[in-house]
C-alpha cells in the first residue's frame, strides 16, 4: 500500500482509534520526579494519577476497540528541570482481554526513545511501530528511565497511541471510507453514587455533575452515527457497590435547530467493580448525530443495595460519519 | 453524501483521527492576547509563552477541522471572535538528543468564541479548515483572543484537531 497511491479493497473501511496517556504535575496529584533505571507506567486515561513504578497498570488501562495494529505513538513532555541527554525508552504493554486482572503477563514491545533534556523544547515525536492488537486488549505504556547524571524534575507528558483496524471483520462497501472520531470525557475526582440520580460525564478531572445544570458537552465533527460507547469506571478505594444496573444515556443538542435535539438510551452499566479495579465495557448503539451538534453523556443510577464509592470514570462516544 | 449511502472511490480508504489539547487549569483569558495551547494536556494551562508542546500527525493528509470545547465557570463575555492558528513543524531528528525544526509554517484555522451558554455551562464549536500535513509533522496550536467586552474567567478549554489522511 502506497500512502499516496490507490487502496486495495482489503484496506477500505479501516478505522483509527486514538488512546490517550497523560500526566500533569499540578492539580492535586504529586509531581513525577523520575528516578534512574525505573519503569513508570503511563495510564491509558486522563485521570491524572501518578504513574506507577514497576506496575503494569492494567487496572487503569484502556482497551482497543479494533482488531488491527498499533501504528505509532505521538509523544511530548515538559518539565521544570532539565535532565541529562540520555534516552528514556518507550515501551508498550498489551494484555489479552481474557486476563484483565493479572499484572505479571502480557506482551511488551520497546518501540523507541524520547529525551527529557530540554525544558523549553518538549521534543514532540512520532514513533512509528507495527504491533498486532485485538479488540478488547488492554494497552499501557511505560517509560524506562536511564541512569541520568542529572534527573529531570516535575515531568508532565502526553502520549497518543494510534490504532488502525476494524471493529468487525469487514465493513460492507456502502460504509467503507466513513471517518471516525472519539468524543472523550473523563472524571477523576472520587464520587459516591446516590440512588436514582442523574450524573453527567464531565472533563478535566473534575467530579461527576449531579443534576441537569452545568452539563459538559462535546461537539461532533461528523454527520453520522454514534456507533459505540466505551465506558470505564474505577473504584480507587472505599466501598464496592452492588450490581444493580444504571442507564447510560446520550443527549444530543442542536444549537441551531432545537427540534433535532433528543435523548437516547445507549445501554446499561454496573458499578460493582472490586476495589482498585476498573470495569470496562463497549456498548454498541446507533444514535444519529450531525456535524456541530453537542453530545452530553450521562447516566441515571439504579437503586443500589450497596452504593459504590470513589468512582472515577472515563468514557468516549465513537462517532462514525462523513 | 449519506452515512448510509455510497462513498465515492477517492474517499475510500481515508482514515481519520484527532490530536487533543486541553487547558485544564482555570485561567482568566485576557483580551487581545496570544495564548499557546499545549499538548502535555492533563492539567496544564494555556500559556502566554510557547513551551512548544505539540503532537505529531500519524497520517499524510489534512487537518480538516477543530472541535473546540469551552467552559467558563465565571465571567460571561460577548461573541468577540478569537482567531485560532497552528504552527506546523517538520520533525527531522526524532532520535537526536536535541531536536531541531529547520522548517515550520503557520496556518490560520478559523474563528471561535469564548462565550459560554448560560444554563449549559460549556460551548462546543467546530471549525472547518483544510491544512496540509504530513506524517510525523508536529502541530502546535495557539490563538489570539478577541477584544472581549469582559474577560472570561476560570476558563477550561479543549481543542481537538481532526486529521484525515492516509
ipTM of the complex: 0.83
Element holding B145 (H helix, E strand): none
Among the partner-chain residues B19, B40, B136, the one whose CB lies closest to the CB of A156 is B40
Band (pLDDT 50/70/90 cuts) for residue B124 is confident
State the smallest CA–CA distance between residue A93 and chain B in angstroms: 20
Q: Decide if pLDDT at A21 tops 80.
A: no
- Length of chain B in residues, anyone? 166
pLDDT tens figures, A285-318: 999 999 989 999 999 999 999 998 877 788 889 9
Is B121 in Cβ contact with A215 (below 8 Å)?
yes
Quick one: B86 exposed, middle or buried, by C-beta within 10 A (0-12, 13-18, 19+)? buried
The pLDDT, as a whole number, for residue A54 is: 40
Report the C-alpha gap between B112 and B84 in whole angstroms: 7
Which residues does chain A have within 8 Å of residue B130's beta carbon, measured at their own beta carbons? none
The pLDDT, as a whole number, for residue A98 is: 63
Q: Count the helix, strand and coil residues of chain A and give each as a percent rounded to the nearest 5.
A: 5, 45, 50
Q: Decide if pLDDT at A40 tops 70.
A: yes
Top mean pLDDT of A52-56, A196-200, B9-13 is at A196-200
Among the partner-chain residues A3, A12, A223, the one whose CB lies closest to the CB of B60 is A3
Q: Which own/partner pairs from B100-109 qualify as long-range (CB within 8 Å, at least 24 positions apart)? A: B101/B138, B107/B131, B108/B83, B108/B84, B109/B63, B109/B66, B109/B84, B109/B85, B109/B141
Q: Decide if pLDDT at A175 tops 70.
A: yes
Rounded average pLDDT over B81-99:
71
C-alpha distances (whole Å) from B161 to each of A36, A226, A254, B49, B138 are 35, 19, 21, 21, 12
Mean pLDDT of chain B: 79
Residue in chain A lying closest to B42 (CA) = A24
Instruction: Kindly report which listed range (A17-31, A268-282, B2-16, B136-150) carries the lowest average pLDDT score.
Output: A17-31
Q: Decide if pLDDT at A48 tops 60.
A: no
Report the C-alpha gap between A164 and A277 in whole angstroms: 27
The pLDDT, as a whole number, for residue A56 is: 43
pLDDT tens figures, A255-284: 788 888 899 999 999 888 877 777 778 898
The pLDDT, as a whole number, for residue A289 is: 94
Is B39 in Cβ contact with A158 (below 8 Å)?
yes
Is B156 in Cβ contact with A27 (below 8 Å)?
no
Among the partner-chain residues A46, A214, A253, the one whose CB lies closest to the CB of B42 is A46
The three grid cell numbers given for residue A52, joined into one nine-digit string: 506507577
The pLDDT, as a whole number, for residue A13 is: 78
Q: Which residues contact A69 (CB under 8 A, 6 or more apart)?
A: A130, A131, A132, A133, A163, A164, A165
Nearest to B67 by CA among B135, B141, B13: B141
State the smallest CA–CA distance between residue B145 and chain A in angstroms: 21
Which residues does chain A have within 8 Å of residue B79's beta carbon, measured at their own beta carbons? none
State the smallest CA–CA distance between residue A187 and chain B in angstroms: 12
Is A121 in Cβ contact with B52 (below 8 Å)?
yes
Nearest to A72 by CA among A9, A24, A133: A133
Is B6 in Cβ contact with A173 (below 8 Å)?
yes
Mean pLDDT of chain A: 80
pLDDT tens figures, A120-152: 666 677 888 999 998 888 887 878 889 999 998
DSSP state of A59: G
In angstroms and rounded to an integer, the radius of gyration of the C-alpha atoms of chain A is: 20
Amino acid at each position: 500500500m502506497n500512502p499516496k497511491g490507490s487502496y486495495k479493497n482489503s484496506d477500505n473501511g479501516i478505522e483509527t482509534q486514538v488512546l490517550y496517556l497523560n500526566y500533569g504535575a499540578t492539580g492535586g496529584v504529586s509531581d513525577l520526579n523520575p528516578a534512574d533505571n525505573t519503569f513508570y507506567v503511563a495510564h491509558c486515561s486522563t485521570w491524572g494519577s501518578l504513574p506507577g513504578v514497576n506496575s503494569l497498570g492494567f487496572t487503569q488501562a484502556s482497551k482497543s476497540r479494533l482488531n488491527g495494529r498499533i501504528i505509532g505513538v505521538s509523544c511530548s513532555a515538559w518539565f521544570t528541570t532539565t535532565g541529562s541527554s540520555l534516552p528514556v525508552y518507550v515501551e508498550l504493554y498489551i494484555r489479552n482481554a481474557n486476563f484483565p486482572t493479572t499484572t505479571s503477563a502480557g506482551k511488551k514491545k520497546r518501540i523507541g526513545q524520547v529525551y527529557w533534556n530540554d525544558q523549553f523544547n518538549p521534543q514532540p515525536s512520532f514513533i512509528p511501530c507495527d504491533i498486532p492488537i485485538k479488540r478488547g486488549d488492554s494497552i499501557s505504556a511505560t517509560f524506562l528511565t536511564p541512569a541520568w547524571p542529572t534527573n529531570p524534575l516535575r515531568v508532565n507528558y502526553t502520549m497518543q497511541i494510534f490504532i488502525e483496524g476494524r471493529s468487525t471483520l469487514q465493513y460492507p462497501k456502502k460504509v467503507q471510507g466513513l471517518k471516525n472520531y472519539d468524543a472523550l470525557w473523563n472524571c477523576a475526582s472520587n464520587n459516591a453514587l446516590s440512588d436514582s440520580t442523574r450524573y453527567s460525564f464531565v472533563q478535566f478531572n473534575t467530579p461527576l455533575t449531579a443534576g441537569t445544570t452545568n452539563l459538559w458537552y462535546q461537539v461532533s465533527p461528523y454527520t453520522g452515527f454514534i456507533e459505540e460507547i466505551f465506558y470505564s469506571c474505577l473504584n480507587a478505594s472505599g466501598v464496592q457497590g452492588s450490581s444493580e444496573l444504571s442507564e447510560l444515556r446520550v443527549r444530543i443538542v442542536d444549537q441551531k435547530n432545537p427540534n433535532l435535539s433528543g435523548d437516547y438510551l445507549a445501554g446499561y452499566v454496573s458499578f460493582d467493580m472490586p476495589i482498585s479495579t476498573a470495569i470496562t465495557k463497549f456498548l454498541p448503539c446507533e444514535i444519529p448525530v450531525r456535524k456541530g451538534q453537542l453530545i452530553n453523556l450521562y447516566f441515571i443510577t439504579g437503586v443500589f443495595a450497596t452504593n459504590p464509592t470513589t468512582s472515577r470514570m472515563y468514557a468516549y462516544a465513537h462517532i462514525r460519519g462523513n | 453524501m449519506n452515512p448510509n449511502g455510497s462513498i465515492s472511490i477517492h474517499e475510500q480508504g481515508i482514515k481519520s483521527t484527532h490530536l487533543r489539547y486541553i487547558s485544564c487549569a482555570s485561567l482568566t483569558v485576557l483580551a487581545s492576547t496570544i495564548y499557546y495551547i499545549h499538548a502535555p494536556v492533563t492539567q496544564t494551562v494555556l500559556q502566554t509563552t510557547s513551551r512548544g508542546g505539540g503532537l505529531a500527525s500519524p497520517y499524510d493528509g489534512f487537518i480538516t477541522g477543530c472541535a473546540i470545547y469551552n467552559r467558563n465557570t465565571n465571567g460571561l463575555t460577548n461573541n468577540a471572535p478569537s482567531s485560532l492558528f497552528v504552527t506546523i513543524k517538520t520533525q527531522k531528528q526524532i532520535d537526536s538528543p536535541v531536536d531541531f525544526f529547520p522548517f515550520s509554517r503557520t496556518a490560520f484555522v478559523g474563528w471561535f468564541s469564548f462565550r459560554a451558554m448560560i444554563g449549559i455551562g460549556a460551548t462546543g464549536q467546530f471549525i472547518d479548515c483544510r491544512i496540509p500535513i504530513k506524517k510525523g509533522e508536529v502541530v502546535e496550536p495557539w490563538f489570539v483572543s478577541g477584544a472581549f467586552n469582559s474577560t472570561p474567567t476560570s476558563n477550561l478549554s479543549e481543542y481537538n484537531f481532526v486529521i484525515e489522511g492516509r
